[in-house]
A and B are shown apart, each in its own frame.
Chain A
């Protein structure tokens, strides 16, 4: 499956401690964040009521189930109170480690929000009384999913476009390259604002619009790689065997052109997180109740007297981007052909 060179490179990547630990921490945090619903939520993980067990983080239960009168979802925050009817009926619940939902406003605290860090809200709350830690976790998940999806789309399109340009060469290359240059000079921010205004803001919308521009950088590298590779004798040998263009491009040449792709991956993730945060900060990103880091930083700016707001968001952003950059630098060092030689 993997060539010896790939195995050797993986070994060398593991030897770069900083990059390897960054990789473990970031990917571990991402996998954990996929279970945000079970980590940070005001819904109990397990709830026992009158001899039955319920799993509110996974399933919807109406208020009526637990002796209430409404068919809307049960108010688990109210049920938590020691003197609630739920506790009097002998029920108990197991809460997630962070028992706060990102979109619930906790206003039953003395004073006005934003509330400073406390035992209930480890990083305090924002201006609407929403738990910051919970919002950070959900914001991390959305940032990562968004930038990974953006990277995936951008990488695939970048590979395909660059590969065809480099392989075809000639008029195809010159024409498409000029078109790409025109395209890349479009200001992407304005396109986001414009299309957002027409079609409404949203995750899919943002992903599509940013994807339109994300692939351009990689396509330049791939074009160069394929220009170089198409002169290789094994490409001629493959043609002489009767292989189709598709097979030559993606089976014979692409595996030899993966270095720029892999090198750019982590930096592309970094760019994705940054642009989503920036757009959210400006208010052109995800629509308001969505927990996002940019929105948190914006709120921190409006509430400068509450440093835990901007502070925690900026720290989270800083740590994530630093980890991703460390991974990227590690991969770059591993793929650097100069590191194989003894000449330094």
Chain B
């Protein structure tokens, strides 16, 4: 553990949902932290609670049905769960920005890319005078060719990869301290995935920001994440530096996830199934 105070520290967070069939705990006593300039990967299968944890960081879950049962989310020492609505809004986007899985639906279909990025800038950086120039600058940074022309496009006129780049530009244009990338490449095909991950790596180095990368794919975290937390059924079952976890996974679930990464030249007959009952508790 580092001696400096972490940027974000989640302590013993439990989130429960009230459903028709009673209460359901999606996240059970999870703790993790992110230091400045550091990338944490949270890896787990679908339903393991990783997206719920990510959304809870700025209280984006609809309440009800969600309820924060125990724990705290300390953002620069201040508990997010105790903030009022106005304070929360200034954190959202301005200090903690998100990119989501599905770029095609995360952009509003009736506005141009320019308008959507401009809106983000207007919300958190009222001091910016020449908004068009700023929009073009960010589109250029995320690697969109000919940004002055493309910014007049509607989301449906862009490819999936470009949509995700526009989303990243929108998130970064508010100059956040922490970028939460919730499955940023899941909806994209493999070559575009690699491009987007390269882009994130570059941006991280350029702006020295922290990233929480949420994914089910161990294959994409290498080279970006310093540390990795493995989530399984609402709990963090393994936590360590990326190199350590990849080299020497302790938990059988982690091992199973790592085995899912395709390796060139290796024929795998059948992937191992996880015996949930044996692993639970």
Q: Does A188 belong to the interface (CB within 8 Å)? A: no
Kindly identify which residue among B100, B101, B110, B123 contacts A243, using a CB–CB cutoff of 8 Å. B123
Residue of A nearest to B86 (CB): A244
Kindly identify which residue among A4, A240, A252 contacts B98, using a CB–CB cutoff of 8 Å. A240
* Residues of chain A lying within 8 A (CB to CB) of residue B91: 242
Residue of B nearest to A238 (CB): B108
Q: How far is the CA of A239 from the CA of B90 in the complex (A)?
A: 11
Residue of A nearest to B103 (CB): A233
Q: How far is the CA of A44 from the CA of B98 in the complex (A)?
A: 70
* Residues of chain B lying within 8 A (CB to CB) of residue A251: 119
Interface size class of chain A, counting residues whose CB lies under 8 Å from the partner chain: 20 to 34
Q: How far is the CA of A3 from the CA of B154 in the complex (A)?
A: 8
A-B contact count (CB 8 A): 66
Interface size class of chain B, counting residues whose CB lies under 8 Å from the partner chain: 20 to 34
Please determine whether A234 and B108 come into contact, CB atoms closer than 8 angstroms: yes
Kindly identify which residue among B64, B101, B105, B123 contacts A234, using a CB–CB cutoff of 8 Å. B105
* Residues of chain B lying within 8 A (CB to CB) of residue A241: 92-93, 97-98, 119-120, 123-124, 170-171, 174
Q: Does B94 belong to the interface (CB within 8 Å)? A: yes
Q: How far is the CA of A238 from the CA of B124 in the complex (A)?
A: 13
Please determine whether B110 and A256 come into contact, CB atoms closer than 8 angstroms: yes
In the complex, which of the residues A234, A238, A242, A252 has the most CB atoms of chain B within 10 Å of its own CB atom? A242
Q: Does A232 belong to the interface (CB within 8 Å)? A: yes
Q: Does A237 belong to the interface (CB within 8 Å)? A: yes
Q: Does B109 belong to the interface (CB within 8 Å)? A: yes
Interface string of A234-264 (1 = CB under 8 A from B): 1011111111100000011001100000000
Kindly identify which residue among B102, B110, B154, B170 contacts A233, using a CB–CB cutoff of 8 Å. B102
Residues of A within 8 A of B (CB): 3-5, 170, 232-234, 236-244, 251-252, 255-256
Q: List 21 A-B contacts (CB under 8 A).
A: A4-B154, A5-B110, A232-B105, A233-B100, A233-B102, A233-B105, A234-B108, A237-B100, A237-B107, A237-B167, A238-B108, A240-B60, A240-B92, A241-B93, A241-B98, A242-B90, A242-B93, A242-B94, A244-B89, A251-B119, A252-B108
